[in-house]
Structure 1
Amino acid sequence: MDTDLDYTGKTVLVTGSGRNIGRAIILEFAARGANVVINARDTASDRNEAEAVKAEAEQHGASALVVLGDAAEPATVAALKAESERRFGHLDIYVSNANARMYRDSFFDTTDEDWHRYLNQQLTASWYLAKAFVPGMRDAGWGRIIHMNGPNAWTGSWAAIPMAAGKGGLHTLTKSLASGLGRYGITVNDINPGFVEVARDSNLDTSADTRTAFADAMAIKRPIRPEEIAWTCAYLCSPRAGAVTGTVINVDGGTAAAH
Structure 2
Amino acid sequence: MENAIIAQNIKRYFKAGEGTTVHALDGVSMEIKKGTLAILKGRSGSGKTTLLNILSALDMPTEGSVQFLDKNLEQMTEKDREMLRRYEMGFVFQSIALIPTMTAYENVEFALRLAKNKRQIQKNLTDMDNDIGDAKNDVINENTHDRVSELLERVGLSKRMDHMPDQLSGGEQQRVAIARAVVHRPKVVFADEPTGALDTASGFEVMRLFRELIDDEDITIVMTTHDPNLMELGDEVFELSDGIVI
Same fold flag (TM > 0.5):
no
Name the one with the larger strand percent.
2
Q: TM-score by structure 1 length?
A: 0.32
RCO higher in structure (CA 8 A, sep ≥6): 2
